[in-house]
Structure 1
C-alpha cells in the first residue's frame, strides 16, 4: 500500500504504509499472530537442483523457506480457509517456489505493520496485494515525510480501486465525487483510504460537506458495515470488490476503477539477492503458463502482467 497510489487495473489491492506510529502499532499486533501456510510445495527442505535455487541468498538456501508476511483478509488475493492461508498470492508463490526449490511460508498479520515487521527481520518479504508506490519505495508516510526504511518491489499484478455498494445501488452512487456528506467504509492504510481522503478535501474545498470516512482494520469489517446499511459504499481494490459481488447477492460493483497501479512483492532494499531471485522466478512462471493458470483460477486475468519488473510503481 503510498499516500495516493492506486491498486490495480483489474485486480489490485493498493494498501498504504501508514505513519511510523501506526506501523509500529501494527507490528506489535502482528507479533501476536501465528497463522501460517506453506506455499511452494508440500514438505520441508530445499531442492538444490531447482533451476533458480543458486540465485537465492545462502541463508534461504540453508533454511529451505522464504518467510512471507501477509494480511490474510483480502479474498481472492489471500484469505484463511480454516487455518490455511489460500488465494492468488499463495498460488503464485507456490509456482515460484518450484522454480526456486524452496517453500514460501505465509504468516498472517495486520497490513499496516507488515513493512515494519519485515524490516526488523520477522519476514524475508511481503506478498499481500500491496501496491507498489514511490512513497513505499522511499519509506515515506502519507504526508510525504520519512517514516522508515524504503523497500523494493517485484511487480506481479495490476489493479485499481473500486466502489462496492448494496445490491440495486439504493443511493445511486457510482463515483467518489458523489460521496460528499456521505458515510463510506474502507480498509485503513490502503490506497482506497487515500482516495477517500483526497476526495473529502476536494468536497470541503468546493463548499460541500466532507465524506465521513469509516476506516476498518480489514475489508471484511468494512463490508459488514455496508451490509448493515451504516455506510453507502465500501471502497476497496477491484479484485476484492469484484469477488465480494460475485460471491453472493448482497453487493455490486459500480463505476470505473480508480488509480490503477501494480501490486508488488516487497523486500528490503538491502536484500537485492532475494529481490532478483524473485524477479527471475516470476518471469519463469509467466513464461511456462503457471502464472496465467493461477489468475484464471481466481478470476483476475485482467490484472495480469506480461513481464516481471522492479519498482514500476509511481
Structure 2
C-alpha cells in the first residue's frame, strides 16, 4: 500500500475511492460496517480483553470498544491488498499479532490513500496502517510547499523501505537509474514518495537542459503497472516491497537500479493521542521480542526491511 516516501499529509499515498463493500482481513478478521467511500474489514484474533499484557496501556475508549479502527488503502501487495473478500498482507498480520498483546481487534477500513490522514483526524479511524512513510512534513502537517495544512501525526515506525524502478522484463529501455528517465513517460501512484521523487527529477532534467520527464500519476499502483505492461510508459516508480513483489509474481516486470530515499513506514496516530501511540510502540516491541514480527516479514518476503527497535517519529 516504497518505502511509500515523502507522501504529504494532504496527499498521502493516493488510492482509488472504493465502493462500500464489506471485506474481511486475514486471520480471524470480522466484517464491520462501511464508512463513506470506504470498505470496512475487521482485524485481530484471539483477543484476551483485560487479561492481555498491554490492555491497560490503551485509551479507555478503545478498551471499552475492544477495537482499534484502522484506515488503510488495500491495493499495495504484499503490504495490504484484497484477496477476494479478505484484506491480507503484512500490515494485517502485524496488527493481528499486536492485537494479541493489546487484547483488542484491529478493524481495517479500506479507503483512498490520500484521504486517510484527514479521515483519521475527523474521527473515522483511530490510526492508519497503510505503508505510509514517516516524514517530517507529515509529522508537522505540512504540504508540498511547506504550508501548514493540518495538525500533523505521530508515527510508530515498523519497517524500512525505499522507492524502486520497475520496468518491463528484459529492461528494453536499458534504464538503470531515475537520472535516465528524462524525456520519457513514467507511471507512479499519485501522492506517494515515489511521486515526489519524480517531481524532483523533472527539475533535474531542466537543470541539465534535457527533455522533460513526463509523469503519469494513477490512483493506485495496480493501474500504474497496467500502463507499464501495455507499453504506455517505460517505468513505474513504487515502494520496493511492492515493486519486488510485482517482479516476483510473474514474467512481466523486473526491478532495476538501487532503492531510493529509504525511510521508515509508520503506523500514524493523530497528534496528542500519546496513549495510543505508546501502546502501539509497546505492542510492536513485544512482537519483535517474541519472534512474531520476524515470522510475518519472512512470510511476505520483506525481511530486508526489518527494524530492530520500535521508535516514534524516526523519519526525516
Is the structural similarity TM-score above 0.5?
yes
Correspondent of 1:36 among 27, 35, 40: 40
5 Å matches for 1:222-237? 222-237=224-239
Alignment RMSD (CA, Å): 2.1
CA deviations over 1:170-202 (Å, ceiling 9, x no partner): 011111100001000000000000000000111
Matched residue, 1:288: 290
Deviations 1:207-251 (A, max 9, x none): 111110000000000000000000000000000000000000000
Q: Which structure has more RCO (C-alpha within 8 Å, separation ≥ 6)?
A: 1
Q: Residues 71-90 of structure 1: CA distance to partner in whole angstroms, max 9, x if unpaired?
A: 10000000001121110000
| Alignment counterpart, residue 192 of structure 1, candidates 194, 197, 205 | 194
Among 159, 168, 182, the alignment partner of 2:170 is 168
5 Å-filtered alignment, 1:206-285, equals: 206-285=208-287
Picking from 13, 17, 24, the partner of 2:8 is: 17
Aligned residue among 125, 128, 133 for 1:126: 128
In 2, distance between residues paired with 1:225 and 1:125? 32
The TM-score, its normalising length taken from structure 2, stands at 0.91
Residues 267-301 of structure 1: CA deviation (Å, up to 9, x unaligned):
00111100000000000000000000000000000
Contact 2:8–2:138 at 8 Å: present in 1 too?
Answer: yes
Distance 1:202 1:28 in 2: 39
1:28 deviation in Å?
Answer: 12
2-structure distance, mates of 1:121, 1:166: 42
Contact 2:18–2:38 (Cα < 8 Å) also in 1: no
Q: Contact 2:41/2:110 (CA < 8 Å) preserved in 1?
A: no
Q: Does 1:113 align with 2:104?
A: no
Gaps of 5+ in 2: 21-33
The CA deviation string for residues 53-79 of structure 1, in whole angstroms up to 9 with x for no partner, is 000000000000000000100000000
Any idea what the Cα deviations from partners look like across 1:124-165, whole Å, max 9, x if unmatched? Answer: 000000000000000001111111110000000000000000
2:27 equivalent in structure 1: none
TM-score with structure 1 setting the length: 0.92
Separation of aligned partners in 1, 2:17 and 2:116? 7
- Determine the structure 2 residue equivalent to 1:138: 140
For the residue of structure 2 that corresponds to 1:181, the secondary structure is coil
Aligned residues: 301
Alignment of 1:10-89 (within 5 A): 12-14=3-5, 16-17=7-8, 19=10, 32-41=36-45, 47-89=49-91
1:112 partner SS: helix
Partner of 1:4: none
Determine if contact 2:43/2:108 at 8 Å carries over to the other structure. Answer: yes
Contact (CA 8 Å) 2:38, 2:109: kept in 1 or not? yes
